[in-house]
Structure 1
Amino acid sequence: MADLDLMLLDRRVARLLAPWDRTDLPGMTVGVVRDGELVVHRQAGMASLELGVKLGPDSAFRIASVSKQFTCAAILMLAAEGRLGVADDVHAHLPELPDFGARITIAHLMHNTSGLRDMLEIMRLGGVDLSVPCSRADLLAGICRQRGLNFAPGSRYMYSNSNFLLLGLIVERLTGETLPDFLDTRIFAPLGMLRTRMVESTTDVVPHLATGYLPRNGDGGGWMRAAHGFPLGGEGGLVSSVEDLALWVRNMSTGRVGGAALVQALETQAPFTNGRSNNYARGLQVRSYRGVRAVDHGGLWPGYKTEFLRVPETGFAVICISNNGASDPYHLAHAVLDAAIEARPGVHPVRALPPAEALAGLPGRYLDPASGATLDMTLNGGTPMGCANGVPFQLRPTADGRLAASRSAEDFTAALSADGDTLEVEADAGFTSSYRRVAPGAALPAGLEGAYESPDIGAVWTLAEKDGALTVQVAGPLMKNGPWEIEPIEGDVIRIYPPSNLYRAWLDVRVLRGADGAVTGLNVNGGRARHLVFTRMGARP
């Protein structure tokens, strides 16, 4: 690429960052790597609103789940040395895990196909959100309480932070080192990634770390420091910077650490048991973007968002990190990539959305009668949006005329029926569901009042009236919480809204009844924890 093209790309990045170029907003930083060199690096906005410090080239951020590829790299390095096998049963290294009645391998953990319920969801159902301090022992206890899985190992994909906490623990058990020390000695120091470190405690002081902010609710607007109390390990504990991640991108072509075999292993996909392809490789996602192969991963933690995006065949990578909880680094990084690869051979044009009249019938609430799962579909300025369990995702048109989640983390492709009443959805591993439109005005099911307990969560939920409304009070392993709102959907399907400081999370809940019609329990499904049964205390078997 000629110098003039680099100048143009730099100016396009500056224009994309312009909305954050203010002294009253937390900000965003962007880096573009071409053939291993950081050719564009810009920042906009504030690292500290309180101290009036702007983001700079040396600003560091929590990169959250972008950490997962480094945890997988550690496992793969140990496998290359013969100290473990990716086909090993996890119980060989973690004997304290319960017997789930199915063999779970290290590979299942790396590919997010283990079926293990997500530890953050487990904690949330027990009343503990990310803002509440807890310990790694608390997280492990939550995983080890489980007696069921989301699905049979290898059969489906579901993102689970539990997988990567356990991978980090395996590294520590095998090496006798802490995961932070292993990563620093074997990866960061050799590559000169001097601003990258695993910082498990969110209270530790880190040089040049930008403060994470969330928008303050209410009419006053403004910002607040993002509260986060969970320890962070192999699932998301790294603090890093654009310059350091650019060094990691360079390693993908030079193989200085791990050689070409490590890069290939990280990007290796494994099929599901039904033969369908899994886009989730090993701490990285692999997919087609505008006709070229893209390898990426995002990161989300209260007050921080990251997108790490590579298109190996073009030599380009884009790194976008923010300390602004209302920002969208994923789509900004792809806008930067579009500017870098536009008009290159083999790059497809961006598909246009269907006309407004074709999308007009999409908004509404939908229910899958088979599973009790619900979806909310909306239009945001003409852009179609989906929302599942409270997590919003933008939709893009596909070649076959359907709408798919733009983020590769969401396996969701849908088409609305001709009569506008049914949403046909294809999810991971090719599984399909029919969601039908839900009419408004539902009433709560009768007979819900009572106490319900789940051994897997270690919590008792009490459904009782408070201030004229039926709510949930939670007595969990670590704390009490509530009241949680209950919303009727249809018949015996309801939503329960647990605490969340990232979005308005909801649980899809089906009321269970005995032969006599009396309520016997609740079948609870979150975004990353499925098939949890809360049994009514004192109910007849």
Structure 2
Amino acid sequence: MNDLDTALLRRRVDQLVRPWEAPGSPGVAVGVLYEGELAVHRCAGLASLELEVPVGPATTFRIASVSKHFTCAAVLMLAQEGRLDIDQEARHYLPELPDFAARITLAHLMHNVSGIRDMLEIMRQGGTDLDMPVTPEELLAGICRQRTLNFAPGSRYLYSNTGFLLLGMIVERVAGESLGSFLERRIFAPLGMNRTRLTPSLQDPAPGLATGYLPRQGGGFVRAAHAFPLGGEGGLVSCVEDLALWDRNFTTHRVGGPELETALTRQIEFSGGGVNPYARGLLVRHHRGVRTVGHGGLWPGYRTEYLRAPEREVTVICVTNQGASDPYHLAHDVLDAVLDGMPEVHPVHALPPRPALEELVGRWVDRDNAATVDISLDAAGHPMGSTHGVPFRLRATEDGRLEASRAARDFTCALAADGALAVELDAGVRATYCRAVPPPTLPEGLAGSYANAEIGATWTITETGTGTGRSAELRVSGPLASRRGPWLVEPVDGDIIRIWMPGLLFRMWLDVRVLRAGGRVSGLCVAGNRARRLCYPRQEDGARA
């Protein structure tokens, strides 16, 4: 990149980070590497609103799930040395794990195809969220209560923090030292990443760490509360310069040799066919025809995007302490600033006209699988989707459909000729969603208690009112329940309901099918964003939690 191109890129990046320059705003740091050199490094906003400390080159952030590919790198380095086998069952290294009557390997964990439920969602269904103190032993106990899976290992993709917590534990057992010590000794110190560290306890000081913030309802910001322990799934603190040193390693091969990058980005096929986009702690996608490799990170008050275009020798790093910001799209906008004008870069596909988008607006229900999606238009007329309360932008695809504009891109839809919504999910799974017809009414006979031993929780639903004016709410009794309710129970379609869980990051919902035996409610079949196929039998009919 010549001096003139670099100057132009800096101005484009300056324009993109300008919103973070507002007074009293949390900050962002953006880095652009080109041909192995940090060509642009821009900082804006405040690392501490209270002390009015600006974000600078030495400011560190919690990079959350960007930590996952470092954990995978540790596993792969041990495998290179013959100290473990990634095709070995996880229970070989962690015998305390439950027997799921299925073979779950380290590779399954790294590729997010294990079917093991996400530990954070396990805790949420029991009434505990990220801002509530939990010990590592309590997290592991929640994992070990599980006896069933989201799906057969290797058949589908579903993001699960559990797998990477377990991988970090496996590294510790095989290496005979803590994960943080292994990463420091084998990766961070050799590469000069002296501001990067693993922080299992959030109580321990981390030098240079920006305070994390979330928007306050009505304006301004509040400090983000978080109390869960962190491990191989998301415990790293780092900064742009250190992540640039790590990125440079994919050229110098100082750590792990040339085979490390190949191993980290290796993809596998699902058992039913089709390639899994999730490699080993990294997602492999295409953006405007350009192959990208990267990962995002989300933790209360922090968001990160690490985005590489290896064949174009470009990497974009965005880290922020504003937990409701969108570094995924910021990073792609920065990447566009580099790619524009390069050969063989596809144009951005145009969205359908507004009338066509308006036809999609509303609530849609997959009656076969008791799944729901809400589609809306934002203030600018851009289509938005939401599943289980997690919002995402929709963008146009080459074939005229709309897909989730997020790293996983595990939701693609189009309006069919019969007025239904044709949806493609992960692993090529297809489903038909019908428009929910208002006004829905609550299923009859819902009041009662329901228990699930895998969650260790009992849910009690109470009803008020009569006829079409009936309403219901749920209260939780769980092993660590702090957010006991009431949770709103919302009718959707016949015996399909939503249960709304208040959350620190999102107001999430669970898709629930009401089960009946002899016409009487016998239980609830519950699906969350990353924890599915959970059955809550009515308490007098089934085992208590």
Contact 1:22-1:44 within 8 A present in 2 as well: no
Q: Which residue of 2 aligns with 1:493?
A: 496
Per the alignment, residue 323 of structure 1 pairs with 321
Paired position in structure 2 for 1:191:
191
SS across alignment from 1:485 = strand
Does residue 17 (structure 1) correspond to residue 20 (structure 2)? The answer is no
Query: Aligned with 1:425: secondary structure?
Result: strand
What are the Cα deviations for residues 290-316 of structure 1, in whole angstroms up to 9, with x where unaligned?
A: 111100100000010000000001110
Structure 1's 18 and 540: CA in aligned 2 closer, same or farther, altered over 3 A? Answer: closer
What is the distance in 2 between the residues matched to 1:291 and 1:350?
10
Aligned length: 537
1:384 matches 2:383: yes
Cα distance in 2 for partners of 1:356, 1:499 equals: 33
Mapped pair 1:207 → 2:210 = no
Structure 1 residues 79-118: Cα deviation after superposition (integer angstroms, max 9, x where no partner):
0000111100111101111111110000000000000000
Q: Which residue of the partner structure matches residue 301 of structure 2? A: 303
Alpha-carbon distance, 1:354 to partner? 1.3
Question: Hey, what does 2:274 align to over in structure 1?
Answer: 276
After superposition, where does 1:140-151 map in structure 2 within 5 Å? 140-151=140-151
Q: Deviations over 1:256-287 (max 9, x none)?
A: 10011001000000110012110000000001
CA distance in 1, matches of 2:347, 2:528: 36
What corresponds to 1:104 in structure 2?
Answer: 104
Find the counterpart in structure 2 of residue 313 from structure 1: 311
Within the candidate set 474, 477, 495, 2:476 is matched to: 474
- Please report how far the alpha carbon of residue 499 of structure 1 lies from its aligned counterpart in structure 2 after TM superposition: 2.5
Supply the distance in 1 between the matched residues of 2:335 and 2:542 (Cα, whole angstroms). 60
Secondary structure in 2 matching 1:259? coil
- Deviation string 1:120-165 (CA, Å, 9 cap, x unpaired) is 0000000000010101111111111001000000000000000000
Alignment correspondent of 2:353: 355
Pair 70,357 (structure 1): closer, same or farther in 2 beyond 3 Å: same
Specify which of 505, 511, 515 is matched with residue 514 of structure 2.
Answer: 511
Does the aligned pair in 2 maintain the 1:36–1:247 contact within 8 Å?
A: no
Shift of 1:462: 0.6
In 1, the alpha carbon distance for the partners of 2:14 and 2:283 equals 28
Equivalent-residue separation in structure 2 for 1:484 and 1:184 (angstroms): 43
> What secondary structure does 1:506 align onto?
strand
TM-score for both structures, normalised by structure 1: 0.98
Q: Which residue of 1 aligns with 2:540?
A: 538
- The answer as to 2:255 corresponding to 1:257 is yes
Q: How big is each residue's C-alpha offset from its partner over 1:301-346, in whole Å with a ceiling of 9 and x where there is no partner?
A: 0010000000001110000011012210000000000001111111
Q: CA contact under 8 A between 1:23 and 1:54: conserved in structure 2? A: no
Distance apart, 1:540 and its partner CA: 7.7
Give distance in 2, aligned partners of 1:505 and 1:148.
23
Could you tell me which amino acid in structure 1 is paired with residue 531 of structure 2? A
For 2:339, give the aligned amino acid.
Answer: I
Equivalent-residue separation in structure 1 for 2:338 and 2:417 (angstroms): 39
Deviation for aligned residue 1:57 = 1.0
Alignment of 1:405-416 (within 5 A): 405-416=404-415
Q: Distance in 2 between matches of 1:229 and 1:472?
A: 25
Contact 1:23 1:52 (C-alpha < 8 Å) held by counterparts: no
SS in 2 for 1:482: coil
Offset of 1:357 from its aligned partner? Answer: 2.0
Give runs of ≥4 in structure 1 deviating > 4 Å: 466-469
Contact 1:69–1:282 (CA<8 Å) still a contact in 2? yes
Residues 499/150 of structure 1: CA separation in 2 closer, same or farther (3 Å cut): same
- Equivalent position SS for 1:324: coil
Give me the identity figure in percent: 61
Question: Contact 1:295/1:309 (CA < 8 Å) preserved in 2?
Answer: yes
Equivalent position SS for 1:263: helix
User: Relative to structure 1, is the Cα distance of residues 540 and 140 closer, same or farther in structure 2, using a 3 angstrom cutoff?
Assistant: closer
Kept in 2, the 8 Å contact 1:117–1:149? The answer is yes
Alignment partners' CA distance in 1, 2:239 and 2:14 = 18
Structure 1 portions without partners, runs of 5+: none
State yes or no: 1:464 paired with 2:467: no
Task: Give the 3-state SS of the residue equivalent to 1:182 in structure 2.
Answer: helix
Query: Is the CA contact (8 Å cut-off) linking 2:296 and 2:407 kept in structure 1?
Result: no
Q: Secondary structure at the match of 2:486?
A: strand
Cα distance in 2, alignment partners of residues 171 and 365 from structure 1: 44
**Letter of the structure 1 residue corresponding to residue 249 of structure 2:** N
Structure 2 unmatched runs, 5+: none
Normalising by structure 2, report the TM-score.
Answer: 0.97
